[in-house]
Amino acid sequence: MFVVTGGAGFIGSNIVKTLNDRGHKDIVVVDNLENPDKFLNLVDCEIADYVDKREFIKDITNDSLGYDVAAIFHEGACSDTMEKNGQYMMSNNYDYSKTLLHYCQNNNASFLYASSASVYGGGSVFKEEREHESPLNVYGYSKFLFDQYVRQAKLDKTPQVVGFRYFNVYGVREQHKGRMASVAFHFYNQYKQNGKIKLFEGTDGYDNGCQLRDFISVEDVMKVNMYFLDNPDVSGIYNVGTGRSQPFNDMAVATVNTLRKHNNETPLDLGALVSKGVIEYIDFPEALQGKYQSFTQADINLLVKAGYTDSFYTVEQGVERYINTLLAQDATKQ
């Protein structure tokens, strides 16, 4: 049996669907559907059971699951970087993760979990080494601290444990996330509704819209997850990004031009889109001052050394695929 925590969420539901595509239906989804809109992510998926997170923790703690677990994909977490309740964050992200890790260690199951690039904070080197890790908020700290806990487990002598430091993931099944959805999702909806896209003005020495992020398609994230599932002898903590950084402007231009292509309009470059008012820059939020990563770029050398050699979509390639999927989904609703 495969267990996917946060299985109704963005990355979790993509894992469920990817496992389905590989012929697996023996999947238990664990989540909290207090946000009921997440169920939509599972409508086209086949699962064996759904279990509320609180009941699942009880079953894990009492060793009463009632089935054998081959692997737990642990995607369940509070990912709101603006969350101010540190006790909630640490309980939900750190303590919960420790409980699942111990279960997998005691039951010879693979444990593949979501870490985050937020552990690097405002640094400029994104390499899986302690000296480069300095989170800016309690969310990042909760992920960092669990990574530290895992590092003490001597992974070469235990069942598989893999931590994925996801960079800026975008793609299908994220519509429930609200303001925490990717900029690609927000740009798509802004342009469809208003014919324009809003980006932050420059900050930290970057020009308008020129802050740099390592944007990675959820399709590529799935390939990485499945690679490690297929190689249970490989453990470690790995960056999951493309190894490239591109500005938010690129994401905006790719979104607009995919939509323009859909409408049989010619593509436009950044300068033309700004001059026409299609791309507009707004004040940088005061609430994010000192808590914002203006630059991320995954060092993927460890990932490659672990044997992963597939290429990654560029922003232009990945966004076009994503926007076309959103267009197709919207068309079915009409």
The secondary structure of residue 201, as a DSSP letter, is P
Residue 88 C-beta-side C-alpha neighbours within 13 Å: 8
The continuous run of DSSP H or E covering 145 comes out as helix 138-151
Angle, CA of 237, 240 and 246, to the nearest 5°: 140
Single out the catalytic residue among 94, 120, 177, 188.
177
CB atoms within 10 A of CB 330: 11
Alpha carbons 3 and 139: distance in angstroms, whole number: 23
The DSSP-derived string for 209-239 is T--EE-EEEHHHHHHHHHHHHT-TT--EEEE
Which residue matches tokens 């959820």? Answer: 218
The secondary structure of residue 117, as a DSSP letter, is G
| Among candidate residues 91, 32, 103, 95, the one with its CA nearest the CA of residue 62 | 103
Alpha carbons 309 and 304: distance in angstroms, whole number: 6
Single out the catalytic residue among 96, 120, 139, 170.
139
Token representation of residue 236: 């470690």
Instruction: Report yes or no: 291 and 140 within 8 Å, Cβ to Cβ.
Output: no
The secondary structure of residue 295, as a DSSP letter, is B
Active site residue 139: yes
Active site residue 127: no
Pairing of strands 110-114, 71-74: parallel
Q: Which residues are catalytic?
A: 139, 177
